[in-house]
């Protein structure tokens, strides 16, 4: 079992930045994928970014604005979000694929003036 705890969400103006953190309850080798998904009201959950073995993957909508990184010593994955837009408003979920897929509880990100 793996518990994931997210933090760092909040309200930000368009063009602003936020950094999300997701800490796992145990050490997980970097070869196992970790990442972020998001779900906006009335929409399906969608991939934002993943990281595995040092390789990253991003949704087209966030390329060049978001950066995923990982600190294995802290069992933590981060999502640095810059140039935020109203369409980025969603609940952001962390996940890890470690034999099974585990999800965090989600953190709300609201981009509004």
Mean pLDDT score, 78-85? 98
Residue 65 has pLDDT above 90, yes or no: yes
- Calculate the alpha carbon distances from 86 to 10, 11, 95 in Å: 13, 11, 23
| Per-residue model confidence as pLDDT tens digits over 6-64 | 999 999 999 999 999 999 999 988 889 999 999 999 999 999 999 998 899 999 999 99
pLDDT at 54: 83
pLDDT at 30: 87
Measured between alpha carbons, how far is 75 from 11 in angstroms, rounded to an integer?
26
What is the pairing mode between strands 46-52 and 18-24? unpaired
Here the tokens at position 80 are: 């640095």
**Cβ(81)–Cβ(68) under 8 Å?**
no
Mean pLDDT score, 85-93? 98
| Per-residue model confidence as pLDDT tens digits over 21-32 | 999 999 988 889
Residue 110 has pLDDT above 90, yes or no: yes
Task: Give residue 2's pLDDT band: very low, low, confident or very high (50, 70, 90).
Answer: very high
């Amino acid at each position: 079992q793996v518990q994931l705890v997210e933090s760092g969400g909040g309200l930000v103006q368009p063009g602003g930045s936020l950094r999300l953190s997701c800490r796992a309850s145990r050490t997980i080798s970097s070869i196992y994928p970790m990442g972020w998904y998001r779900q906006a009201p009335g929409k399906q959950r969608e991939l934002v970014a993943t990281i595995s073995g040092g390789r990253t993957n991003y949704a087209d909508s966030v390329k060049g604005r978001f950066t995923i990184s990982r600190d294995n010593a802290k069992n933590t994955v981060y999502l640095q979000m810059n140039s935020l837009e109203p369409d980025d408003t969603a609940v952001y979920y962390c996940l890890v694929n470690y034999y099974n897929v585990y999800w965090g509880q989600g953190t709300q990100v609201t981009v509004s003036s």
